[in-house]
Each structure stands twice: as structure tokens, then as C-alpha cells.
Amino acid sequence: GLVGSRYRMLGWFPVPNGCRMAGFAWLVPGTKWLLAVDRFRVVWFPVPEPNFRYGLIAAFEQMGKDGKVMKFLVLNGPNLNLLGVREPEVYGTTTLADIEGMVHAYADELGVKVYCVQSNHEGVLIDEVQHARLEYDGIVFNPAAFTHYSYALRDAVAAIEPIPVVEVHLSDISTREAFRRTSVIEPVCIAQVKGRGPQGYLDAIDILVKHLGRPAVPGTE
């Protein structure tokens, strides 16, 4: 059987990131294979023996991916808290609260969860991006003015790969002032949505769901 001299039992571990399962795991001595078992499935997972605990977590995360509700971070950068009063001829009269309400309503329709954060501070945005690799399946990101020059944010997005990020802009930045036409963040995102107004945030959620390649509502096609 599994619990014998051929296998080393590692113990009972809860699955991280909100997955509703837990299980046992055994390391096959002298090999680089981990056997992870929960009440539904058995997974063989390759992992160097010294790092078996990290392998165990990764194995259980993979086992739970298909069954958990997707979670997206909607991240907004500087001055977007002033939407509705800031240059309405460019950005419209819809407030950030209105956009977040639209996003939450659309997420409910799809059966996904969204968490909205806005900050005027580069370091806060970097912290949110870094933390997202542990909490979220994807990010909808409007970096605002940081789009054009923040290599620190660009590096943060690149560092959390393979977590997908979609860059969003309310206006079409390619038709605006010369300095706004370049995005240093777009190359490390899976897509850029621009010039769609508030609808662009909903488009970005659609892109993330399609990119992740699994139903938004667990158990549906």
C-alpha cells in the first residue's frame, strides 16, 4: 500500500488560496516524484526532494484550480479617484465608484469575484501587483500616468508571470498627446484595452476568463 516503506508520508495539509480540499502526500524516496492524494483525485507531481513542501503546495493548488471561483484584482492608478470631475471631455462623467459598481455587477453575472483597489502611489500599486500572485487569478490594471514611464510597475507585472494582466485605458491613448502613446507596461500584459470607456473594464474581465480557459461559473460550459 501507499503507507509503507516504499513511500514517506508527509502529512495532512490544507490547500492554499481558498481551495476547498485537503489531502495526504507521499514522497517516493530516491526519486523526484511527489504523490498527492485528496478525497477526489491522485496527482503525481515532479519535485526535487529537498523542496517537497513547495511541491506539495503546488500540487494541491493545481488540483484545486478547476474547482475554485476565479478571483480578479481590478487595480487603478493615480488620479482615477477623480473620475467624473477630471477632464470630463476626455474621461467622461462616470465616477470610479460607478465603474467599480459595473465591474462587481458584471462579475456576479459571470460567477467570478473581483476586488477593486485604487492608489495614487507607485509603491502601493507595486505591492498590490506582487501580492496578487498569491491571491488572484488575474489583474485588470489601469496604471494611468504610470503607464508611460514606470519601469518599476512594468517589472512587477513581469515578475508575477504567469498571472495574466490586462492593461486598460478609458481613452484611446494612441490618439492623444505624444507622451501618452507609449506604454512601458503593455509588453508584459496579455492584452491592452483602450478607448472603450468604462466598458473596457468589462472587456478586460472577458479577456481574462477566456485566457484562463475554464468556465467562469464552476461546473458550467
Q: Among residues 104, 136, 169, 201, which one is catalytic?
A: 169
3-class state of residue 89 by DSSP? helix
Q: Is 91 a catalytic residue?
A: yes
Instruction: Tell me which DSSP letter residue 188 carries.
Output: G
SS (H, E, C) 16-85: CCCCCCEEEEEECCCCCEEEEEECCCEEEEECCHHHHHHHHHHHHHHHHHCCCCCEEEEEECCCHHHCCC
Q: Among residues 54, 91, 149, 151, which one is catalytic?
A: 91
How many other CB atoms are there within 10 angstroms of residue 85's CB atom? Answer: 10
Q: What share of the chain is helix, strand, coil (3-state, %, to 5)?
A: 40, 25, 35
Residue 101 makes CB contacts below 8 A (sequence gap 6+) with none
Q: Is 148 a catalytic residue?
A: no
User: Which residues are the active-site residues?
Assistant: 91, 169
